[in-house]
Structures are given as structure tokens and as C-alpha cells.
Amino acid sequence: MAAELAMVVEDSFSLWRAALAIVFFTIVSFLVDFTWKPRYGKSLPRVGYGDGVLATVRNWIGYMVHYNDWVADGYERYSKHNRAFVVPSAPSRPSEIVVPRSQAAWMLELPDRVLSTSQAHNDVLYNDYQFFGTDDQFPIRTMHKHLARNLPALIPQIQHEIHASIDAVFGSNTEEWTTLNLWDAWLAIVPRVTNTILVGAPTCRHKGFLASQVAFLDCVVRNSFILNMFPRVLHPIVGRLVVAPNWWHLWKTYHVLKPVIEQRLHDYDSDTHKNLTPDNQNLITWLIHQAHTEGLTHELTPWMISQRLLPIEFAAIHTTAITGHALLLDLLTSDPSLGYLDALRDETSQVFASENVNGSWTKAALSQLHRTDSAIRESMRLSHFATALTHRKPERYDAWRFFRVREGFEARQRDQAHGDGDKERDMEEMMRIKRLGMVTTSDAHLSFGHGRHACPGRFFVAHELKIMLAYLLQNYDIKPLSERPKPMWIGQTIVPPLQATIEVRRRKRV
């Protein structure tokens, strides 16, 4: 009996010792981390709980749920008065400085060696572990160079994939209403459509490939949260452990892509004029082309190209799905008497009827969807996926907010048709209206970033969302929703209302 008691005491004693050792080790790790973090001048105001040791611990805990409120608070108290402020970050990251709008242009003009985008991405996403140390600048540079210039020729393919995937997800029942989980619907459409321009058809339809891409991206998001919470000094161990599933999904992706990339490398080498057909125009080919242009022969293997695709898949898929999800929720929860859906349906069908070429949208036709453009930009204004990128003033969704400026201008033009208008003023106003388009970034429209590193995918996204909305509205009725399901914020990241459902029914052909 006494011996048993001694064993229990000894066991619990060793448990205590182990627990104390872990606590001690964690404190030392955070202290080491602390010595690496930058210190900001006392003159910079802070939001959150303040600066001392206890306040820092409270900030780390509060970061998960209060970050969004802290930024809103700082915006009211400091940004509006043209002052920068410091906002606490996750335990493994330094606190961040939020600059006021007036300093955004100066900041964005700083060269990468002073303010590095890739370092910033690395700080948030831990690329060294999550993307296997692949420098994301090569694929990003490739996207900047090739996507916009090839996009017009790709519109028919993009349209084809959009129509086919919407048909598959929204169904063909013209009699009964079908209930769909909206997030699942977007995730069944966006990866396929995005991969039209990343890997091309038919791989963009390969279910196993798409599933492993989405699973990989989910791992990146989850691991970022985990690594945010661990002191940076432990990342070399924790980082390598948590990315085991990333490797697994990369491996599965590689098996699907290997023959496709081998064929593409072969086609590229045998085409002496590099006269690539639209079928071959996608990121795989652009990476090959860019590697040749820059003499980067080590980039020309299926393994390397499979890895290069990952940061772009990450930049493209959840961002688009979150944006599309929010857009439909904003439209469906707007007062039906405003007639948004009918007006968008009319605009898309009128422009399509007069401007399509062989049944396909064109760049010129898509650029005439002014109401649709305004409805999307307005939703992005309200429902961005990362807090610190944008400020919001009125919190109400007003689909025609940007369109109205154009409408007013066009009405004035008609009134003045026979008079002597002020040409210079009209030109200025026209330029101002152009800047209100969804792809035109500015310090007032930061949803796609701004400056040299503004999103190169935004022209594609604009086409994609417009074609989707047009097809959806022309082919389906969707029941309005009584209340806007609210997203949730975890740290800086938005989690869309994943449970939201909608009811849809295929429209009968007349």
C-alpha cells in the first residue's frame, strides 16, 4: 500500500516537473522571440491592451477575437486624424503599424529592399515551411507578365468552364426549389474555373486534383494559425511537423500534373516559333516560357512547376470564393423592392445579346456591365477578407453606389447634347468615373492591394464574377434571404458564414 502511494506521488511529481519544464521552456522561447521583435517609438499610439508584459499576454489572447475591433478603434481615433497607430499581432509576429490613407502612396512606392512583399507574405504564411521554401516571387512575376495580356483570348474557355460547373452544382430542376450550401457551391465552382488559367483543360476538371489543391490550401490556413501561436524560435521544429499534410497533398497533385507538365515541356521545346494556341495558354506554359526567358533551367521540371503553382492557387481560390460568397449574400439580403437582381439580369442579357461574338463574352462586352461592376465593387468594399487592408464608412450595401456616378454624368451629357459643355471638365469627370471600376485600385479601393504588387489576378476575377453572375441570373431564380448571415473574424482573417444556404430553381426556357 505504502509502495503504491509512493509510486502515485512519484508519478504526479514527474508530471508536475514535466509541466513546469514545458512552461519554463515556453517562457524562455517567448523571451528569445521578444529580443528579435522590432521596438516602436513611444510617440506611436497603440490600440489593444497596451505595452507591458501582462498587457502583451492579454494582447496575444485578445488578438484572436478583437483584432477587427482594434483596427476599427484605431481608424476612428488615429487614422481619421491622419496618424499611424500600432495594432497588436499574433504571439509569433511583431505588432503592426497601420498607416493613415495619406501615407499609403508613400509606403507603396518604397522599393522591395525597404518594404519587402515576399518577406511580408512569409511572415504571415510561413512560406519557408508551407510552400517548401519555394520563393513565391518567380510565379508571381510570371503572373504579372503573362495573365492580363493573354486573358482576352481565354474568355471563351473560362466561360465554358463557368457554365458547365454552375450547371453541375445548381442543377437542372425547373419544378422544385433546391437548397444549396452556398460555400460548398462556390468551392465546387471556383477551383475548376481558376484552374482553367492555371493548368488548363481537362486537368482543371480532375476531381482528385482539385480536391488536393483545396485540401492543401486549407492546410496552409490552419498551419498559419498554429504557427502564429508558437514562438518563432520553435518554428524550425513545429513548422516542419505541421506541414506533413502539405507534403501529402503536393505529392497527390504532382502525380496528376507530372504527365501534363512533361507533355507541355515537350510541346514547348518542339514548337520553334513558340506560337502557342489558347489551349496551351495557362500558368504551366507561362512558367516554362518565363524560365526560358530568364535562363532558369532548374525551373523546368514537373516537380518544380507543381510547387510553383501552389502560391498562386493559394492567392486565387479562397479569395475568389469568399468574394463571390459575400456578393451573393449581399445581393440576396438587399431589400427586394430595390430590384437589384432584375436590373443585373436585364443589363447582362442586353449587353450579351448585342455584343457577344459567336455566343461568347468578350473583353469589350464585359467592360460594359457597369451596374454589375458596381455591385461587385460595393460588396468588396464592405466584405473584405483581411481587416487591415481597407476602411469602410457606411456599412450598408448599396449596389449602385459607383454606378450612380456614371449614370449622373451620362444624364448630364444627354441634357447638354445641344449646348456647349465644358469639355475639359467632362474629360476629368470621365477619368474619375473610370477609376471607380472594380479593377482600378487606389488608396480608396484596396481590396486588390495597390501599387506595384496589386493583385495581377483582378482582371481575371472581374471577368469571372461577371460571367458567373450573368449566367446564374439568366438561368436560375434564387429566393431572397431575410437576414445577412454574419462572417466571423479570427485575428486578421474573415471566416465566411459557412452554414449559409440558398434556394435555387432553374428558370424555364421561354
Report the site for ligand HEM in 113-172 (rule: CB under 6 A). Answer: 117, 120, 140, 143
Binding mask of the shown chain, residues 354 to 393, with x at each position contacting ligand HEM by CB under 6 A: -----------------------------------x----
Q: Which stretch binds ligand HEM (CB under 6 A): 28-36, 40-48, 250-258, 451-459?
A: 451-459
- CA 476/CA 331 separation, integer angstroms: 14
- CA 138/CA 299 separation, integer angstroms: 9
For residues 213 and 313, the answer to whether their CB atoms sit within 8 Å is yes
Helices and strands (H and E) in the chain: how many: 18, 7
449 counts as binding ligand HEM under rule CB under 6 A: yes
136 or 398, CB closer to ligand HEM? Answer: 136
Give me the least distance between CB of 39 and ligand HEM, in Å please: 24
- CA 397/CA 382 separation, integer angstroms: 7
* DSSP secondary structure code for residue 490 in this structure: E
**Long-range contacts from 142-149, C-beta under 8 angstroms, 24+ separation:** 142/283, 142/286, 142/287, 142/290, 143/283, 143/286, 143/312, 143/456, 143/457, 144/456, 145/286, 145/290, 146/283, 146/286, 146/289, 146/290, 147/197, 147/286, 147/456, 147/457, 147/459, 147/460, 148/456, 148/459
- Ramachandran quadrant class, 82 (left: phi over 0; alpha: psi -120 to 50; beta: rest): left
Q: Which stretch binds ligand HEM (CB under 6 A): 224-232, 263-271, 423-431, 446-454?
A: 446-454
59 or 228, CB closer to ligand HEM? Answer: 228
AA letter at 283: L
457 counts as binding ligand HEM under rule CB under 6 A: yes
Residue nearest to ligand HEM (CB): 457
Report the site for ligand HEM in 257-286 (rule: CB under 6 A). Answer: none
Give me the least distance between CB of 8 and ligand HEM, in Å please: 55
- CA 465/CA 438 separation, integer angstroms: 11
143 or 227, CB closer to ligand HEM? Answer: 143
Cell numbers 515541356 correspond to 265
316 or 472, CB closer to ligand HEM? Answer: 316
Cell numbers 493573354 correspond to 150
Q: Per 3-state DSSP, what percentage of the chain is helix, strand, and coil (rounded to 5)? A: 65, 5, 30
Is residue 204 part of an annotated ligand binding site? no
Give me the least distance between CB of 414 and ligand HEM, in Å please: 34
Q: Which stretch binds ligand HEM (CB under 6 A): 37-45, 155-163, 399-407, 445-453?
A: 445-453
Give me the least distance between CB of 142 and ligand HEM, in Å please: 9
The number of C-alpha atoms within 13 Å of 345 and in the hemisphere containing its C-beta is 13
Give me the least distance between CB of 113 and ligand HEM, in Å please: 15
168 is written with which cell numbers?
Answer: 453541375
| Beta-bridge partner residues of 459 | none
165 or 323, CB closer to ligand HEM? Answer: 323
For residues 201 and 161, the answer to whether their CB atoms sit within 8 Å is yes
The number of C-alpha atoms within 13 Å of 283 and in the hemisphere containing its C-beta is 30
**C-alpha R_g of the chain:** 26
Give me the least distance between CB of 172 and ligand HEM, in Å please: 28
Residue of 460, 471, 476, 489 interacting with ligand HEM (CB under 6 A): 460
Cell numbers 454624368 correspond to 409
AA letter at 344: L
Q: Which stretch binds ligand HEM (CB under 6 A): 17-25, 91-99, 157-165, 454-462?
A: 454-462
Residue 414: Cβ within 10 Å count: 8
Give me the least distance between CB of 413 and ligand HEM, in Å please: 32
238 or 310, CB closer to ligand HEM? Answer: 310
55 or 382, CB closer to ligand HEM? Answer: 382
For residues 327 and 376, the answer to whether their CB atoms sit within 8 Å is yes
Give me the least distance between CB of 70 and ligand HEM, in Å please: 20
Give how many residues touch ligand HEM by CB under 6 A: 21
118 is written with which cell numbers?
Answer: 515576399
- CA 285/CA 146 separation, integer angstroms: 10
Residue 368 φ then ψ, to 5°: -90, 0
Binding mask of the shown chain, residues 293 to 322, with x at each position contacting ligand HEM by CB under 6 A: -------------------x--xx--xx--
Q: Which stretch binds ligand HEM (CB under 6 A): 64-72, 243-251, 443-451, 483-491?
A: 443-451
DSSP string computed for 298-312: GG-SHHHHHHHHHHH
Residue of 227, 291, 461, 481 interacting with ligand HEM (CB under 6 A): 461
Cell numbers 507534403 correspond to 247
88 counts as binding ligand HEM under rule CB under 6 A: no
50 is written with which cell numbers?
Answer: 497596451
Residue of 323, 334, 348, 387 interacting with ligand HEM (CB under 6 A): 323
- Please classify residue 219 by burial: count the beta carbons closer than 10 Å to its beta carbon, then call 0-12 exposed, 13-18 middle and 19+ buried: buried
Report the site for ligand HEM in 184-243 (rule: CB under 6 A). Answer: 194
Give me the least distance between CB of 455 and ligand HEM, in Å please: 3
Give me the least distance between CB of 461 and ligand HEM, in Å please: 4
Residues in the site for ligand HEM, rule: CB under 6 A?
117, 120, 140, 143, 194, 312, 315-316, 319-320, 323, 389, 447-449, 453, 455-457, 460-461
Per the annotation, binding residues for heme are 455
Per the annotation, binding residues are 455
